[in-house]
């Protein structure tokens, strides 16, 4: 029982009777429609502390939220308190130390813009509206990951409010076990992170490629694309591939390259020769423009969807390409897609056990995605993703924790591999009463 006297809630408080309530409770995946008791938009760390204490005194379940992009809508729940940090957006850049301390309310693209205007970068996600909190805590796969690693590989320190309402700092030198767990353990498990200190890197211009083909060229293009994710492949290029079907089709490679346009053209020659492209754009452009072009092809506004992202560890054989082609040629809803995010390079330089993000040696992360226009589309859309994931299981390993799927039974192994037991031990130290819990959250080990 939590005995400390309850403080009042502070920050911007939204209750069910308030006109903003319906907007405030909405999440990016509109398939989920949940009704919390209260939503607290923290303006500063003190508001987070007060909200945790308030909730614990009343035994009210807590959910933590930043960018609202959790695939299963788990940052909101019925009859609970949502502690939302999205209005905490301060950032301090220290040029001499090459660091930026950023409050966790910023979205990925806001962080990219804020730093980009200073000629700096921390590898951000592809989607403009993903919150840096959830993105970073799950690992943070970026269009700069092959040269510069995951977001967590650039994280130096996190500030976190724990279940007792105490502010902790986690870094290599302080609470190192927590720092290990926060780097890939997934959001909402250990406490509420209020700021991150990242290492920044200078970046002004990149060479950027965007090449599209008719969808009928899926197999030759994908065969060639995969070779750019091999360990020996040029790590200055992070390649992406979108294969979409439904009301419209798309087969498009995008890639950010830290080098010149001429080098990139030469590098991409085998891919350009794999089939006849419809459109080719290969140019040196400002980094922020490249980030904006990638962001423009991501889902931009809330919609109902199902998605999940396992890892690929091998060049996919014909049997796997046949499965992809079959699913893509049978879209059950208005829009389905398969997305490959090239990994390896600096991501793979880090051992699997060095941070909680386990699947370091994957060549890429593959996501199956469906969305629908009418409620009747939900069943077929969800089944399409689930059947696709199962059909591809012989060719994939694990699942990215930032793409949770509640239908996965052995989720500890799927998300964390052999890092799971250690995560439960860290949980037992920092949240022994399991105050921060939700379906598929990490339970405390019995110590």
Binding residues with ligand FAD: total (CB under 6 A): 34
158 touching ligand FAD, by CB under 6 A = no
Contact pick of 38, 50, 54, 67 for ligand FAD (by CB under 6 A): 67
163 touching ligand FAD, by CB under 6 A = no
| CB of 56 or CB of 275, closer to ligand FAD | 56
Q: Which stretch binds ligand FAD (CB under 6 A): 16-24, 186-194, 252-260, 421-429?
A: 186-194
Contact pick of 121, 137, 316, 356 for ligand FAD (by CB under 6 A): 137
* Min separation Cβ 324 and ligand FAD, Å: 20
Contact pick of 100, 112, 133, 338 for ligand FAD (by CB under 6 A): 133
| CB of 54 or CB of 430, closer to ligand FAD | 430
338 touching ligand FAD, by CB under 6 A = no
154 touching ligand FAD, by CB under 6 A = no
43 touching ligand FAD, by CB under 6 A = no
CA distance 99 to 201: 8
* Min separation Cβ 280 and ligand FAD, Å: 24
Contact pick of 99, 110, 141, 337 for ligand FAD (by CB under 6 A): 141
192 touching ligand FAD, by CB under 6 A = yes
Question: How many CA atoms lie within 13 Å of 278's alpha carbon, on the beta-carbon side?
Answer: 12
* Min separation Cβ 96 and ligand FAD, Å: 28
68 touching ligand FAD, by CB under 6 A = yes
* Min separation Cβ 52 and ligand FAD, Å: 11
Q: 424 φ, ψ to 5°? A: -65, -30
| CB of 138 or CB of 304, closer to ligand FAD | 138
| CB of 126 or CB of 244, closer to ligand FAD | 126
* Min separation Cβ 41 and ligand FAD, Å: 12
64 touching ligand FAD, by CB under 6 A = yes
* Min separation Cβ 118 and ligand FAD, Å: 22
70 touching ligand FAD, by CB under 6 A = yes
69 touching ligand FAD, by CB under 6 A = yes
| CB of 202 or CB of 300, closer to ligand FAD | 300
CA distance 409 to 413: 9
Q: Do 126 and 143 form a contact (C-beta atoms < 8 A)?
A: yes
Q: Please choose, from the candidates 92, 132, 89, 85, the residue with its C-alpha nearest in 3D space to the C-alpha of residue 108.
A: 132
427 touching ligand FAD, by CB under 6 A = no
298 touching ligand FAD, by CB under 6 A = yes
Contact pick of 123, 299, 344, 398 for ligand FAD (by CB under 6 A): 299
127 touching ligand FAD, by CB under 6 A = yes
List interacting residues with ligand FAD (CB under 6 A): 28, 63-71, 74-75, 85, 104, 125-127, 130-131, 133-135, 137-141, 187-188, 192-193, 298-299, 402
């Amino acid at each position: 029982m939590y005995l400390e006297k309850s403080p009042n809630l502070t920050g911007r408080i939204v209750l069910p009777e308030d006109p903003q309530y319906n907007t405030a409770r909405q999440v990016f995946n509109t398939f989920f429609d949940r009704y919390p008791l209260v939503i607290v938009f923290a303006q500063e760390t003190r508001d987070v502390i007060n909200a945790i204490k308030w909730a614990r005194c009343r035994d009210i379940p807590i959910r933590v939220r930043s960018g609202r992009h959790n695939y299963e809508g788990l940052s909101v729940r019925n009859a609970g308190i949502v502690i939302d940090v999205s209005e905490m957006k301060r950032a301090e850049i220290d040029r001499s130390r090459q660091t930026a301390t950023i409050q966790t309310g910023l979205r990925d693209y806001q962080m990219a813009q804020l730093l980009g205007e200073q000629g700096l970068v921390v590898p951000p996600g592809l989607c403009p509206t993903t919150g840096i909190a959830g993105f970073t805590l799950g690992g943070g796969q970026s269009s700069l990951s092959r040269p510069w690693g995951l977001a967590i590989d650039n994280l130096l320190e996190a500030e976190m409010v724990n279940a007792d309402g105490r502010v902790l700092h986690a870094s290599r030198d302080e609470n190192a076990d927590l720092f290990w767990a926060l780097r890939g353990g997934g959001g909402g498990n250990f406490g509420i992170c209020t700021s991150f200190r990242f290492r920044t890197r200078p970046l002004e211009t990149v060479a950027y490629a965007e090449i599209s083909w008719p969808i009928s060229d899926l197999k030759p293009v994908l065969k060639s694309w995969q070779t750019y994710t091999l360990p020996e492949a040029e790590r200055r290029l992070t390649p992406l591939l979108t294969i979409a079907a439904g009301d419209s089709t798309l087969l498009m490679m995008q890639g950010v390259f830290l080098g010149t346009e001429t080098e990139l053209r030469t590098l991409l020659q085998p891919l350009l020769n794999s089939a006849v492209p419809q459109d080719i754009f290969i140019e040196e452009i400002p980094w922020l423009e490249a980030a904006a072009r990638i962001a423009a092809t991501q889902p931009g506004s809330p919609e109902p969807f199902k998605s999940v992202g396992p890892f690929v560890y091998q060049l996919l054989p014909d049997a796997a390409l046949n499965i992809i082609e079959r699913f893509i040629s049978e879209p059950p809803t208005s829009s389905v897609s398969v997305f490959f995010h090239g990994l390896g390079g600096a991501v793979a330089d880090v051992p699997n056990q060095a941070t909680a993000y386990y699947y370091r040696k994957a060549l890429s992360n593959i996501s199956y995605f469906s969305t629908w226009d009418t409620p009747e589309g939900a069943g077929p859309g969800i089944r399409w993703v689930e059947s696709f994931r199962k059909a591809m299981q012989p060719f994939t390993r694990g699942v990215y924790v930032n793409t949770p799927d509640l239908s996965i039974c052995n989720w500890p192994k799927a998300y964390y591999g052999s890092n799971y037991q250690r995560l439960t031990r860290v949980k037992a130290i920092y949240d022994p009463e399991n105050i921060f819990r939700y379906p598929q959250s990490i339970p405390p080990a019995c110590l």
